[in-house]
Amino acid sequence: MKLLIDDANIDAIKALYPIYPIDGVTTNPSILAKSGRQPYDVLREIRAFIGAEAELHVQVVGRTADAMLEDVERIHAELGAQTYTKIPVNPAGLEAIQRLRKAQPDAHITATAIYTPMQAFLAAKAGADYAAPYINRIDNLGADGIATAKIIQDMFTKNGLPCNILAASFKNSQQVQALAQYGVGAATIAPAVIEGLVRNAAVAAAIDDFTRDFESLCGKGVTMKDAK
C-alpha cells in the first residue's frame, strides 16, 4: 500500500519525508485554504520538494465538466502532466473523467468525494486511476468506512477494473492498518495520524530500558560507536 501525506503544510511535509516511506502528497481545496497562501505558490513548492517522480494530487474546483477540464489544463501547465487531478464523482465529474481519459489516455486521474461503492465503480468504469473513499466521513454518516473500502476493492477485482483505492479521511492508525491488511492500493493520511502509526509508549519504554542497561555497563552517553 502506498502512503501519501494529506496536507499542504510544507514544513510538515519536509519533517515527515526523511522519516517515513512516503510516496507523495495529496491536497484538496480545503487543505489549500488552510495554508493561507495562494494555491499555486503552495503547490509549486510541494512539487519542487517531493520531486517530479512522487505523486502529487490536486483537486479541480470547477462545477461543470467544462470548468473541471479547464482546471485540469491549468494544473498540468503549472505542475506537470504527471500530476494527478482529483475530480469529484458527481454527474459533471463522471463526464469530465470520461472526456479527459479520451482526450489524454495517459492522464493521471483520481476520483474523489466518494461515499458509496457505486460511485467508485462508475469512476473506475469512466477511466479513473484511483478512487478515493472518505473512510472517517463515511463512518460519521452512520455507515462503515472500512467495510465500504473493502467492498470497492472487491468490486474492482471481480470486475477486472484497473483502478486502485486511494483511501482518505482517517482518524486513527487502526483504520490504516485494516486497509493495509486488505491490500488496498494507497492511503493518504494527515501528519498527526502518520506519526501515530509508530507512536507507542511500550516501544519508548523498551528503548529506554535498553539504553539504561547498556549505560550501566559502558557508562553514561556511551553508544556502540564508543564502546570498548
The C-alpha atoms of residue 88 and residue 110 are separated, in whole angstroms, by: 8
210 and 122: one domain?
no
8 and 111: one domain?
yes
Q: What is the pLDDT of residue 136?
A: 97
Q: Which residues pair with 109 in a beta bridge?
A: 85
Q: What is the pLDDT of residue 200?
A: 83
Q: Dihedral of CA 106/107/108/110: which sign?
A: negative
What's the domain range around 211? 200-228
E runs forming strands in the chain:
2-6, 24-26, 55-59, 84-88, 109-114, 130-133, 164-167, 186-189
Residues with a catalytic annotation lie at 86
Q: What is the pLDDT of residue 202?
A: 85
CA 99 to mean position of chain CA atoms? 24
42 and 87: one domain?
yes
168 and 225: one domain?
no
Residue corresponding to grid cell 515527515: 16
130 and 157: one domain?
yes
Q: How many CB atoms lie within 10 A of CB 174?
A: 10
Q: Which helix (H) or strand (E) holds 97?
A: helix 91-103
Q: What is the pLDDT of residue 113?
A: 98
- Judged by DSSP in three states, 44 sits in helix
Q: How many CB atoms lie within 10 A of CB 13?
A: 18
Grid cell at residue 8: 499542504
204 and 107: one domain?
no
162 and 119: one domain?
yes
Q: What is the pLDDT of residue 201?
A: 80
Print pLDDT tens along the chain (228 aa).
Answer: 999 999 999 999 999 999 999 999 999 999 999 999 999 999 999 999 999 999 999 999 999 999 999 999 999 999 999 999 999 999 999 999 999 999 999 999 999 999 999 999 999 999 999 999 999 999 999 999 999 999 999 999 999 999 999 999 999 999 999 999 999 999 999 999 999 999 888 888 999 999 999 999 999 999 999 998
Grid cell at residue 213: 542497561
Best CA proximity match to 179, nearest among 191, 193, 158: 193
Look at the chain and report how many structural domains it folds into: 2
Q: What is the pLDDT of residue 226?
A: 93
The C-alpha atoms of residue 219 and residue 221 are separated, in whole angstroms, by: 6
**What is the CATH classification number for the domain harbouring 157?**
3.20.20.70
Grid cell at residue 126: 469512466
124 and 210: one domain?
no
Q: What is the pLDDT of residue 114?
A: 98
130 and 209: one domain?
no
